[in-house]
Structure 1
């Protein structure tokens, strides 16, 4: 149970979890807000942030999980736009883009490069964190199971549960760190 000081502190999470049990279990008690829109690309998130999406709230942590839908953009362009999203004094957690497609394809390689570029840029942003939750989804033969990604792109409920537990732990640590800094 979170201390009462967290009751009215929003946490913005930008992915589609609102209807899932894991969202209700982990993030709803934090009074988290979900601004995720299916099909979002980095430029859409950046536009909304630049045009007031967070203007009337004061989040302590923002989780950004975007980039896979940037079809037609290079890995460098996707990472650059993600970097623009993260340029703020709010604590950000940038979730790594997941491997996708049943077997290795160019999108997987692109997502890997995006993750590498973002990780390289983050040391210059002390309030930004990178969290790669992709471990275990790609099997030793290079395939992904439909039990983890039903269409080899979107996570199943079970996969969301695996991903959200460590994300929740990271969010909790950042909130506790901020509380210590204020005390």
Structure 2
């Protein structure tokens, strides 16, 4: 069982995430029927970390395109975009790029409309700039404990709204 399941199952959540997907994969799925026949109150987008070979502008552009497509297909749904998490035990160029993506999203998402951006990356970087293997066992993928940290924050928000649909 996924650590998020116990919190989100009672909310009738659907998780259409596929491990390893990039923004291009998600866009293709959304353009080819994944949004058909659903009417969620909330859509949570968490995508982009697998686009590590792209520039920050390209990654943010892909996430913005996904958010715009969701808004077009599901105009009554509230959209929450989760920021990219830091990666690597120590500060490094990929971590800097993820922070740049988050800054671009923070600046650009409000122009799309009522989209909420949440950046929880700071929860995992210690004062010395390191990330603990207790949070990310390989300094990229979350441990069950770290998933619970993110899930609890997101769950509290969703309880105020109602049903949601997760794309990652």
TM norm structure 2: 0.88
**CA RMSD for the aligned pairs?**
1.4
TM-superposed deviation, 1:174: 3.2
Q: Distance in 2 between matches of 1:139 and 1:145?
A: 8
Match of 2:97 among 107, 110, 113: 110
2:27 aligns to what SS in structure 1?
Answer: helix
2:154 aligns to what SS in structure 1?
Answer: helix
1:97 equivalent in structure 2: 84
TM-superposed deviation, 1:92: 1.2
Match of 1:162 among 140, 144, 149: 149
Q: Distance in 2 between matches of 1:116 and 1:139?
A: 20
TM-superposed deviation, 1:169: 1.5
2:166 equivalent in structure 1: none
> Cα deviations across residues 11-43 of structure 1 (Å, max 9, x unaligned)?
xxxxxxxx22x3232100011111111111111
Query: How do residues 16-55 of structure 1 correspond to structure 2 at under 5 angstroms?
Result: 19-20=1-2, 22-55=3-36
Query: How do residues 73-152 of structure 1 correspond to structure 2 at under 5 angstroms?
Result: 73-87=54-68, 88=71, 89=75, 90-152=77-139
Q: Which runs of 5+ in 1 are unaligned?
A: 1-18, 177-183
The count of residues paired between Structure 1 and Structure 2 equals: 157
Q: Distance in 1 between matches of 2:157 and 2:111?
A: 20
> Cα deviations across residues 123-169 of structure 1 (Å, max 9, x unaligned)?
11333110111223111111110000001001100111111111111
Q: Which runs of 5+ in 2 are unaligned?
A: 164-168
More RCO (CA 8 Å, sep 6+): 2
Moved over 4 A (4+): none
